[in-house]
Amino acid sequence: MIRRFVIPLALGLMAGVVWTLQAHAQQPLSVQETVLRAKPATVLIISEVSAEVTLNCGGGPQTVTPPAFRETGTGWFIDPTGWVITNGHVVQPAHEVPRWLVNQQAQRAVSAACLPAALQAAKVQPGEHPEQEDAIKRRLLDKVLPTVKVNITPQVSVVLSSGLRLKGEVKKYSPPVSAEPGTMSGRDLALLKLPDGNYPVLSLADSTAVQIGDPLRILGFPGVVLSHELLNQSASVEASVNPGAVSGFKQDKANNPVIQTDAPAAWGNSGGPAVNSKAELVGVLTFVSLAPGPEGSIVQGFNFIIPSQAVRDFVKGTPVKINEQGKFNSVWFAGLRAFFSDDWHTAKRKFEEADKIQPGLTDVKRMLGEAVEKVKNPPPKPFPWFWVTIGVTLVSAGGYGGQLLVRWQKNRYRVGPSEIFKLAEAGKPPIVLDTRQQDAYDKMPIKIPGSIRLAPEDLKSGGAAGLDLDTARPVVAYCT
């Protein structure tokens, strides 16, 4: 039994140590590392429509430039050479300028250029008589609007966390989902192309493997943060992160699958990436849930994302290379892994390299500063409990294994009573020699039936030479 036990025990202990070492070396990403992998690839999308309006208030033609229409959303790099994914409805005002927007810009121009003089002529002070002022404004619009000429200039811009603003060209577009009958619905996705470069990207997860309860995080630029009066300008270029989980699987009006999540979202988060614990894209936020009423507020906990599989299908036939990491990602990820493994020198070197590839990104600058500080003033190292545990385990395994080996060597020829009975039952009864010391034999004169008494003194004096033993039978010695 001992011989069958020693080797499996040692192998089991060693296998446990190897498994522990592998688990230690392949630690999952922390929340902080997951977020830092995804944030640089998340960008602010600005759809802007500016206009030049030529009109005549009665004193001759003039050109007016009303404030540009601007809508913001979120996007993310899918290819390191400069391809960005966002929602179709985020770029829609600039990609398909609606008629209402042209009319709105024309009305703003007429109100700005003609209304002050009309109120003065009617001797009405602005704000004193709202109803009278509205009537004058309506008559003015009816008179001037038919003759205005509006020159529209749409533009889509992409802003990186460094503050760098780049022009985006819509290369592929799918309209948003519509609840109105007869209105074309699509996948609510848009593919933009930026100038060639080395950009951070997000890899795509397999959304078909997602299950209810899986954690995810939505990144984006909620308008409430962008326009917050107590935040400085940096808030407009750094993505916010909202945690949550997968809470359901539904279909939109066009019967396309969407994933429901309880992760919070707000205006401006549209097009934002939803990433899993590996910083891989699970889906793209597409629409939220609103309370009933004309000005319904967002009902949190019931938001929906387009699965990553739909993104794969959307970019088919384009030059986009899915899951192509690029120069920035490889260096940035290596720096983060080193930083969270307390290898400050390597982290500093990698962060410096990442900053050269894509200069000025907020998270890169922050992490580089932290790495530099830790290189200068390294924190005290915690007691190495892990390695001490491994060492104690190895020493214990070695000592225990050594004891078992000595025991095995000592007992390797010992025959137990059960084996003697087995030999007898098999028709091969052994010859039993009782070779106990004489004093032990005298104190406990137990005689084994059928045994041959042979004292150790007889063995030394050659007394065993006269024994007539059957060499065809096994011989078992009983000693003290």
Q: How far is CA 471 from CA 291, 428, 467, 474, 475, in A?
A: 100, 12, 11, 7, 8
Q: What percent of the chain has pLDDT over 90?
A: 51
Pairwise CA distance, residues 413 & 420, whole Å: 13
Q: What is the pLDDT averaged over residues 144-170?
A: 94
Residue range 264-270: average pLDDT? 85
Residue ranges per structural domain of the chain: 31-37+202-314, 328-376, 417-478
Residue 450, pLDDT above cutoff 80? no
Query: Is 466 or 438 the better-scoring residue by pLDDT?
Result: 438
165 phi/psi in degrees, rounded to 5 = -110, 125
Contacts of residue 318, Cβ cutoff 8 Å, sequence gap at least 6 = 83, 171, 172, 191
pLDDT score for 1: 33
Task: Give the per-residue pLDDT at 378.
Answer: 83
Confidence label for 7 from pLDDT (cuts 50, 70 and 90) = very low
Task: Evaluate whether 309 touches 191 at the Cβ level (below 8 Å).
Answer: no
Predicted confidence band of residue 28 (pLDDT cuts 50, 70, 90): confident
Phi, psi of 104 (to 5 degrees): -60, -45
The mean pLDDT value for 329-343 works out to 95
Residue of higher predicted confidence among 126 and 354: 354
Q: 370-387: per-residue pLDDT in tens?
A: 999 999 988 777 777 777
Q: What is the 3-state secondary structure (H, E, C) of 253-288?
A: CCCCEEEEECCCCCCCCCCCEEECCCCCEEEEEEEC
* CATH class of the domain comprising 31-37+202-314: mainly beta
Most confident of 117-131, 418-432, 448-462: 117-131
Whether residue 259 contacts residue 286, with contact meaning beta carbons closer than 8 Å, is answered with: no
Mean pLDDT of 246-259: 89
pLDDT band at 6; cut points 50, 70, 90: very low
All residues at 6 or more sequence positions from 463 whose CB lies less than 8 Å from its CB, including other chains: 454, 455, 457
Give the model's confidence band at 89: pLDDT under 50 very low, under 70 low, under 90 confident, else very high.
very high
**pLDDT average, residue stretch 164-191:** 83
Q: How far apart are CA 480 and CA 439, in angstroms?
A: 11
Residue 45 clears pLDDT 50, i.e. is over it:
yes
DSSP 126-188: TTT-HHHHHHHHHHHHHHHGGG-EEEEEEEEEEE-TTS-EEEEEEEEEEPPP--STT------
Task: Sort 20 into a burial class: Cβ within 10 Å, 0-12 / 13-18 / 19+.
Answer: middle
- Residue among 311, 220, 191 at smallest CA distance from 38: 220
pLDDT at 328 over 80: yes
Which range among 122-131, 384-393, 434-443 shows the weakest confidence by mean pLDDT? 434-443
Q: Pick the closest to residue 325 from 144, 113, 81 (CA basis).
A: 81
- Give the per-residue pLDDT at 401: 85
| pLDDT score of 387 | 76
Phi and psi, residue 360, nearest 5°? 80, 5
Q: State residue 408's pLDDT score.
A: 82
Would strands 42-56 and 61-64 be described as parallel, antiparallel, or unpaired?
antiparallel
Average of pLDDT values for 246-267?
88
- Indicate the range of 41-55, 91-105, 173-187, 455-469 predicted with least confidence: 455-469
Position 12 confidence tier, pLDDT thresholds 50, 70, 90? low
- Rounded to whole angstroms, the Cα distance separating 90 from 189 reads 9
pLDDT digits (tens, 9 = 90+) for 421-448: 777 777 777 877 777 777 777 777 677 7
* pLDDT (0 to 100) of residue 23: 45
Distance, CA of 420 to CA of 366 (rounded, Å): 78
Count of alpha carbons within 13 angstroms of residue 457, beta-carbon side: 4
Residue 17 has pLDDT above 60, yes or no: no
The HSE-up count of residue 251 (CA atoms within 13 Å, CB side) is 4
Of 49-63, 404-418, 460-474, the least confident: 460-474
CA distance 165 to 64: 26
pLDDT at 203 over 80: yes
Tell me which amino acid residue 452 is.
I
Q: pTM higher than 0.85, yes or no?
A: no
The proportion of the chain whose per-residue pLDDT surpasses 70, expressed as a percent, equals 83
Which distant-in-sequence residues (6+ apart) come within 8 Å of 229 by Cβ?
Answer: none
pLDDT range class, residue 225, cuts 50, 70, 90: low
Contact 194, 246 (CB under 8 A): no
Task: Tell me the backbone φ, ψ of residue 415, rounded to 5 degrees.
Answer: -115, 130
